[in-house]
Chain A
């Protein structure tokens, strides 16, 4: 393949260079009905799972059909989204924060043809390309991180765990039978590129073995002081090591019992890899939320300390998630988020009704904030 120039001249990189222009202006992309009614919307209604109408003070209506999608997406699929948007929506489409795709039309009679079109499109393997749903008191798309498809620090995969989870949760993507919305999020390591620490249910990749030390290369590849400074528990200190050939090199020493497996040192120093087949797996957290509705936003709590990576469908993980969802559906009141329900019945009951084991790992021992989570009361349930 011959190199094709864009017009860029590597000899003169500053020639005609355009920088600091930011993204395209949002108004260029608004559908007409959005442009016309912006800031003047009266109300909305979810007509059925995945289909909403927003009504303007003007009486104008915009109908939105929301579909789920894998956030890992090929250009051919994006082109197909464009075909659908051209056919039904005057060439407009939008994506949501949770990786859903929204097709908007300006009258009710355009909704059914759009929905039918979306529902009939399937991948060769049989899965939906554009499943309609993800609204109201149900489970919407999972926000997630890269995982093994493109990252150097993951303890599990992103796309695969999400596919496995959404397959078992699919009925609730297309229904609105839950007490409130239930947000599931996934981050493939503690760095949490996708912050999952305030989700109703969070899937988190976690390492459990301290880094290996590649002494032979460490001083050549890493800034040792940076690696030492990166450790939140001060487990790393400088040392000198004699290699097998008798050569003495500068390296580091790790106090393994202080390691919390965050991988922060590996981010600073590639000679400290910690990925491991047996060591790596999944932590499940639950009961967080970001909305200010009724109760304050809150952090998710660790409810399963570890599950092994079981490729390709992580059955122990999906079982534990289904147990939580089923117990929540059985026990929570209308409008009650998972964390509010757990707070109301007490976490001791949460473990009982979700049939999850409580182990010593779930008692916080990380710094001062640990104390806040211990029970300082005689009020508890047997």
Chain B
């Protein structure tokens, strides 16, 4: 017998898509029965109260969670978000219901022994409700009380060799695509770089010293599976400088509609698109029209290729990314709060990815950008907003990167150039008396 009636939520149990309501109800039953004999450290009926307070929100059309208080683990300024229910009398099991962010392994691969350790810990000391994963990438543990925070952190660090993630005005836990681990398009090892950056900047991740949040996201190719270009203050997107590698025999297999060579790796199998047509589906969709197919030979004018990935995605067995690989760094992306959304802007077109020297070409850019932002950024000002306020030219100045046409989609359409004095021959100090000798008042 459920503790609270949930007639509105119950209507979300039907339909094919996995029902979070069914899952939560099942979890509530498991806690109530407690066949494992867990000595629950937070209220046993917390999931029932969670369903109860959610039902109330469905009835009211308003949330029933209050602002977070300042809670956390000793020495860290992030990783825990305080959360309290605004109807504690009705739902005492979720009166204190804090979130913990646990740093996810790069690529989000797991072994079950780790996950089972985590679920055991969370059953004992929390609600048993999680997000796999949160939007930033962390494992999210939803719902525990203040006295449990240090205990959970102790078990994570001592028994699981596992740390918390970031929150607040910190470096947020970096997130990556699976990269070279299982993708032929990967231009660099995103798992390795993500792990390196996460560990290299642990201090920035745990102890708030920034004007606001800062996100790293790593896409190993321009397809952008982790959406870094839209949501990371600094995105690392794999690219290459030489030519696309072409296997002409395989190109012809696609042209001949060989069933072992389905276009776009089979992604359109359920549509009625007719036989594959290289002219229509590849050459004419190429954004720079840099390809030709003549006499059974595909020719790519690589100097005019912008590496959009379309031809490679469409004929993955025939076309491969080049060998001179690295990454582009784009900066300043963010969601609309406050001054409107910003897309990442290209800062470094090609940077070497070299684990042998601890990725120094990359960390140099990061440190220069951070020095500037920490010095000049206002409270709650994202990097993208600082760039807007002080200018892209200033960003180039502080990073020591030379301006180049790749930095712009097109040059400025107004001539209001803020010339600096040292850029103008003779400087700005002039003798008006001398001028008036030749130009009468």
Chain A interface (Cβ within 8 Å of chain B)?
Answer: 1-8, 10, 13-14, 16-26, 28-31, 34, 38-39, 41-49, 54, 62, 64, 68-79, 81-82, 85-86, 91-97, 99, 101, 123-131, 135-138, 143-154, 157, 159-160, 163-164, 166-167, 170, 173, 175-179, 181, 187, 190-198, 229-230, 232, 262, 264, 267, 270, 275-278, 280, 288, 290-295, 297, 299, 309, 311-313, 334-335, 366-367, 369
Contact = CB atoms under 8 A, between A and B. Distances in A.
Given A18-B158, A292-B229, 12 more contacts: A1-B41, A5-B151, A8-B154, A22-B195, A46-B269, A91-B112, A135-B267, A137-B268, A170-B16, A290-B224, A292-B223, A335-B314
B343 interface: yes
A4 B19 contact: no
Interface in B198-219: 198-199, 202-203, 206
Contact of A24 (B54, B83, B162): B162
Contact of A176 (B68, B184, B270, B308): B270
A270 B69 CA distance: 11
Contacts of B22: 123-125, 127
Nearest to B162: A24
A88 to B, nearest CB: 11
B116 interface: yes
Interface stretch (B120-128, B358-366, B422-430): B120-128
Contacts of A229: 379
Interface stretch (B103-111, B296-304, B394-402, B431-439): B103-111
Contacts, number: 454
Contacts of B59: 311
B105 A26 contact: yes
B227 to A, nearest CB: 4
B129 A20 contact: no
Given A6-B151, A10-B150, A131-B16, A97 B119 contact: no
Given A73-B132, A75-B122, A264-B337, A46 B15 contact: no
B130 A75 contact: yes
A325 B333 CA distance: 28
A19 B157 contact: yes
Given A5-B151, A176-B267, A128 B111 contact: no
A316 B226 CA distance: 30
B27 interface: yes
Contacts of A22: 103, 163, 195, 198-199, 202
Given A29-B105, A123-B26, A334-B271, A21 B163 contact: yes
A166 B19 CA distance: 10
Contacts of A6: 150-152, 154-155, 158
Contact of B27 (A34, A76, A147, A366): A76
A342 to B, nearest CB: 17
B14 interface: yes
A297 B76 contact: no
Nearest to B184: A41
Nearest to A364: B340
A157 to B, nearest CB: 7
Contacts of A230: 380
A178 B222 CA distance: 22
A192 B107 CA distance: 23
22 contacts: A20-B206, A21-B161, A23-B163, A25-B195, A26-B107, A26-B191, A70-B20, A124-B22, A127-B18, A136-B266, A143-B135, A148-B63, A150-B142, A152-B67, A157-B54, A157-B58, A198-B229, A198-B343, A232-B337, A309-B61, A311-B58, A366-B340
Contact of A44 (B103, B107, B184): B184
B240 to A, nearest CB: 13
A216 B397 CA distance: 49
